[in-house]
Structure 1
Amino acid sequence: MAEASRARRTKGRPDDGLFDRELDHLPPEARWREWMNRVEATIFAASEPVDRETLARIVGKNCSIDLLIDDIREELRGRPYDLVAVAGGWKHLTRPAYADAIRRAVGGSERAVDLTQSEVLVLMCIAYFQPITRAELSTFFGREISRDLIGNLRSHDFIASGPRAPQPGAPYTYVTTQAFLLEFGLDTLRDLPDREALEDAGLLSKEKLLAGDIMPGFAGNEERDGLLETDK
């Protein structure tokens, strides 16, 4: 019975015992080339960024993923696409220089999601000051942040509920997600412009944020009515 149970659990999954990660039978150059091919093929086939842990399953135990990626990217130099570190992994992305040609050929907007100015500003605030509650966001902006606006950001999977705040009523906080990193081409939150440097330069002030002067490229369409109005 135990053997049958194990067989059912492993059915359809690759048998690691039959997959040769080390490739010791190959000379060093051929081994490295095969590892490069495996990594590039896996990233190419994946719909989401592929993380380091996943790639480590298909190469030798002592193989450097970073050096493999560097060599693949070197070979892609001059090609219209690249391997980009984004959202904690790597993904094939076309180069910005070909955005106009791609839009002309297959249509679509430059970004998959267009955000309103209100959504952009609130999303920025969450990104820099997370975990943060809706009440804290409202205090920051000096007016009520509507549940509709928060709901819109959640519907795009840009934010999620974080830990409950240590305040009366234990309100939910909000944090950004992997989808946020992917949408804006960030590998981690550390890739956001340095907050202290922006504050020292006077760029991350409340007035600048409300005016939309920080990272204006995040802005989308005109504001939709009601997103920043007091909840009824």
Structure 2
Amino acid sequence: MNEDELKKIIEAVIYAADEPMSLNRLMSLFPEEGHPGRDAIKAAISQLQEEAAERSVELKEVGSGYRYQVRQDYAEWVSKLWEERPARYSRASLETLALIAYRQPVTRAEIEEVRGVSVSSQIIKAFVERDWVKVVGHRDVPGKPALYATTSGFLDYFNLGSLGDLPSLAEIRDIDSINEKLELSLPGESKELIPDEDIAEAESAETEELAEPVNG
């Protein structure tokens, strides 16, 4: 197999895949006999990235692998294919997600301490169900609270190669500006998390529960 043929195979596989393709996953596609090798596959990916440099579609490395995607400059135009506007995320959701991303691993109590208000369990649950957040351990304190951190799915969704690619806190000083970035995410994915009113009801219910006197 020559270099040009290998490059075409890699391009076709990444383009057709419904999720990012890791280097190990790409390597597993080839039989042992005549296997191109890790370096050759990486070289083919680099060539494909260079060839896409002047195109509206780029070959991007995100948390769980490589994928072809529309460049951010053209996402607004592509989004016109979908009439429905994505749901906006509540401020409580955005603040919670930001704290997990920048302070991970972190407990729910630590998030609440920074925010100054209780964090609805529905928010954490929604992040876990979306595979943006996972439990990575438990804090060695009474009660053994769960420690939360972001996942490779979080990196993929927000178009990040690693946590080092997160914008500085100064860049997202206005937490509401994150909604604008979310609206320009790749089309074709559900953007709904929890409507503001549902979160408000959940937080109100939890607050009332905490406020109830304990008998006995």
1:85 equivalent in structure 2: 61
C-alpha distance 217-82 of structure 1, shift in aligned 2 (>3 A): same
2:79 equivalent in structure 1: 103
CA distance in 2, matches of 1:227, 1:87: 32
Of 153, 174, 178, the match for 1:218: 178
CA-based RMSD = 2.7
1:6 equivalent in structure 2: none
Q: Which has the larger radius of gyration?
A: 1
Deviation at residue 123 of structure 1 after TM alignment: 0.5
Q: Which runs of 4+ in 1 moved over 6 A?
A: none
Cα displacement string for residues 71-91 of structure 1 (whole angstroms, at most 9, x for unaligned residues):
112222333211111123100
Of 128, 131, 146, the match for 1:172: 146
The gaps in structure 1 that reach 5 residues or longer are 1-22, 24-30, 205-211
2:10 equivalent in structure 1: 39
1:80 alignment partner AA: S
1:153 equivalent in structure 2: 127
1:54 matches 2:25? yes
The SS at the match of 1:63 is helix
CA distance in 1, matches of 2:114, 2:53: 45
Overall identity of the aligned pairs, in %: 26
Of 90, 94, 99, the match for 1:120: 94
Tell me the TM-score normalized by structure 1.
0.70
1:70 matches 2:46? yes
Deviation at residue 192 of structure 1 after TM alignment: 1.5
C-alpha distance 158-102 of structure 1, shift in aligned 2 (>3 A): same
CA distance in 1, matches of 2:176, 2:45: 32
Aligned length, in residue pairs? 187
Deviation at residue 96 of structure 1 after TM alignment: 2.0
Higher mean alpha-carbon deviation, 181-190 vs 155-164, is at 155-164
CA distance in 2, matches of 1:114, 1:122: 15
C-alpha distance 181-73 of structure 1, shift in aligned 2 (>3 A): same
Q: Whose relative contact order is higher, 1 or 2, with alpha carbons under 8 Å and at least 6 apart? A: 2
Tell me the TM-score normalized by structure 2.
0.74
The SS at the match of 1:219 is helix
1:165 alignment partner AA: R
The SS at the match of 1:92 is strand
CA distance in 2, matches of 1:137, 1:48: 31
C-alpha distance 64-133 of structure 1, shift in aligned 2 (>3 A): same
CA distance in 1, matches of 2:83, 2:162: 29
2:187 equivalent in structure 1: none
